[in-house]
Structure 1
């Protein structure tokens, strides 16, 4: 019985240290604890307790994660995929993406401008720029609109 209490205390302490560094999703934290050779049956009650105390929150993790990724120029598709891989539910992801930003087209254009700044000169360059933006996590519609607007701006300036 005392050994179980010691394990729970060790898991709790390790969890607190990890959470002090940055937010984690429940699944992420569970995986990190399992990698430290703690048993799943010992981990789950500790995670439940941390959630009930408000120290572990998938909602908070998703919001912080999303904001950071948006600041780094990533789009909603990539952010959604990364959050899903970390075990965050679709409802929480939707909510986090709504809280973070709804002007994805502006972010897509900013990412394009930082990387390229000039409209694609030919189809090959258009494809290269589109791939870059798609890999950043922007939708095909967002990419098309940004590149079309860049071409129109380029035509308007007479370049």
Structure 2
């Protein structure tokens, strides 16, 4: 085991100490530090065998950290960007669907807390929730529901 391999493992462990990373993320981040072909793969294989790299933990971590602020579409996008297994991503996102409306309403409450007063504010609230990855129909219901609750139809 050469000095460079220890260095790569050390770099990978330092990244993993901050948060969970997928193997693809680590490859992307550490590729420039590889001095001989295959060196990075060997280091990552060893870390994966020892349980330091675990895709299911990455998925659970992202869902836990991001689902309270983002819709299922944005969570899916973040998971896909990490190069995770498509089936595992689909299952994790499917699990978010049941709480999507409650999460969208909570995000809306934290950000705005009151119904839109005019069309411009309605557009702002709608765009905000859409950019957070909530579906169009759901956003429409949340923003419209807030206006109806306040009798501002």
Candidates 12, 15, 26, aligned match of 1:15? 12
Query: Which of 82, 85, 110 is 2:78 aligned to?
Result: 82
**Deviations, residues 82-124 of structure 1 (Å, cap 9, x unaligned):** 2211212222222333556730111110111111112123333
C-alpha change, 1:142 and 1:94, in structure 2 (3 Å) is same
Residue of structure 1 in register with 2:21 after alignment: 24
Deviation at 1:35, TM superposition (A): 3.2
Q: Deviations over 1:65-93 (max 9, x none)?
A: 1211124x121111111221121222222
- Asked if the contact 2:72/2:97 (under 8 Å) is kept, the reply is no
Q: Secondary structure at the match of 1:103?
A: helix
Gaps of 5+ in 1: none
Asked whether the 8 Å contact 1:63–1:97 carries over to 2, the reply is no
| 2:139 maps to 1:140 | no
Cα pair 1:130 1:144 within 8 Å, conserved: yes
What is the aligned-residue RMSD (CA, Å)? 2.2
Structure 1 residues 45, 37: CA separation in 2 closer, same or farther (over 3 Å shift)? closer
1:76, 1:97 within 8 Å by CA — same for their partners in 2? yes
1:68 aligned residue = 65
Q: Which residue of 1 aligns with 2:110?
A: 114
Partner residue of 1:126 out of 122, 126, 140: 122
Structure 2: gaps (5+ residues) = none
**What is the TM-score normalised by the length of structure 1?**
0.82
The one-character-per-residue Cα deviations of 1:25-59 (angstroms, maximum 9, x if unpaired) are: 11111122113344452111222222222210122
